[in-house]
Amino acid sequence: MLYHKAKLVKIGRLLYKEGLVDARAGNLSVRLGDQAIITRTGSHLGNLDFEDLIELPLYREHTLKERASSEWIVHREIYLQTTHKAVVHAHPLYTVFLSNYYSKIEPKDSEGKAILGAVEVIPDYPSGSEELAKAVAQELKTSKILIVKNHGVFSAGKTLTEAYSLVSVLERSCRYLWLKLTNEPL
C-alpha cells in the first residue's frame, strides 16, 4: 500500500512539473484488487501527500466517496469495465486546445506516431457524470488514452508510470502539431 501511495505522489509531482495539470486540476488512481486509491477532491497534484489519497471499495458505496476526486465515478467505471490498473486524468493545454478542432488527434512526430497512433476525441460530457464515465470506460476497453473535448485526457494502463507517460507523449505531440500548423519556430 505504501509503495502505491508513494507512486501516486511521485506521478502527481511529475504531471505538475511538466505542466500537464495546474494547481487544482487532474486526478490519479490505482486499482488494488477490489479497491482503489484516488486523489482527494481539490488536491494539488504537485504537492500531494498521503493524506490526499482516499481508499475506496470498487463494488459498493462508501462515505469517503465525498472526499474523493469528483471524477471518482469515471475511474471506478474504468476499473469495472476494463483490465487497467492505473488511471491518470490531466488537462494538458495544447491537447485540450486541439480537441476543439479535431475528432481524432494524429501525431506527426515519430514518437507520438509510434507510441500513440491516433487518439480519439470524445464529446464533452459533464465532468464527473455517469455519461462521461460510460463513454470513457467504453473507449478505454480498446485503447489506453483518449481526449474529452475541451476538458482533458484520461489515460490508463498497467501502471501509473505507463498512464502518465502516455499523457506526456500526447501533450508533446499536440504541442508539435500546433507549432507546425501555426508555422511557429520550434
CATH code of 128's domain: 3.40.225.10
Give the burial class of 139: count Cβ atoms within 10 A of its Cβ; 0-12 exposed, 13-18 middle, 19 or more buried: buried
| Catalytic residue IDs | 71
At residue 88, the pLDDT reads 98
For 91-118, write each residue's pLDDT tens digit: 999 999 999 999 999 999 999 999 999 9
**In sequence order, which ranges of 30-159 are alpha helices (DSSP H)?**
72-81, 93-98, 110-115, 130-139
C-alpha cell at 76: 471506478
The whole domain housing 69 covers 2-182
At residue 23, the pLDDT reads 86
Q: H/E element holding 4?
A: helix 2-17
For 48-92, write each residue's pLDDT tens digit: 999 999 999 999 877 776 778 889 999 999 999 999 999 999 999
**pTM above threshold 0.85:** yes
Give the burial class of 114: count Cβ atoms within 10 A of its Cβ; 0-12 exposed, 13-18 middle, 19 or more buried: exposed
**Number of domains within the chain:** 1
